A = this chain, B = another copy of it.
Amino acid sequence: MSDSTARRPLRADARRNYERILAAAQEAFAAHGAGASLEEIARHAGVGSATLHRHFPSRRSLLEVVFHDRVEALCARAQERAEESEPGAALFSWLGDFNAYAAASRGLAASLLHDGRDTDLLQQNDSCKMMITNAAGELLHAAQQAGAVRPGVHAEDLLTLVSAISLATEHHDDGRAGRLLDIAIDGIRPHRHHRAATNREAP
């Protein structure tokens, strides 16, 4: 194994500041979204902005750590869903979980879509995105095996879609997110025969 988490014991005050920044960031992102002021976070944590930038070289790296625990819980939830339901239902209800998590912690969806322009070239450490993609991928694969989802759909596409929905509905308090998610879920269900081109069923 690599020594990624404990490269060097990290001095006590440094660790303390690290945690303070994290707490302040969690609060700020929840209150003002993923674009919250980093300087404000540093101020609220009682450290200089230089300290924040040393611990977290980019806004993205901060988001990554802040959301890590939550993402881990979400992935664990995927496991539970897989065990307690049949594949199709497991995937669909987990997508609901995802949406709920994204709504509860603003900025998560934006962070997952990650616009690419932030870190420009280094994109190896987007562990959150990878964790979720993997979790979604397993549920999706099982659902496809069971015939509850049609084969053409890929995990990344699905994740992009629900992230996009969560991001777009972040500011609407009506049930829009749920309705759009339902549309998306119906959209990945298998086609039932595609009967004829035009249907002329009079209601």
Contacts and interface: CB of A to CB of B under 8 A. Distances in A.
Contact of A188 (B146, B163, B183, B191): B183
A149 to B, nearest CB: 11
A203 interface: yes
A55 interface: no
Interface stretch (A18-26, A45-53, A168-176): A168-176
Nearest to A152: B179
Tally of this chain's copies: 2
Given A188-B183, A192-B195, A176 B164 contact: no
Interface string A28-44: 00000000000000000
Nearest to A163: B168
A175 to B, nearest CB: 10
Contact of A180 (B147, B148, B157): B157
Given A185-B187, A192-B192, A198-B146, A160 B169 contact: yes
Interface of A: 86, 88, 113, 115-117, 146-148, 152-154, 156-157, 160-161, 163-165, 167-169, 171-172, 176, 179-180, 182-193, 195, 198-201, 203
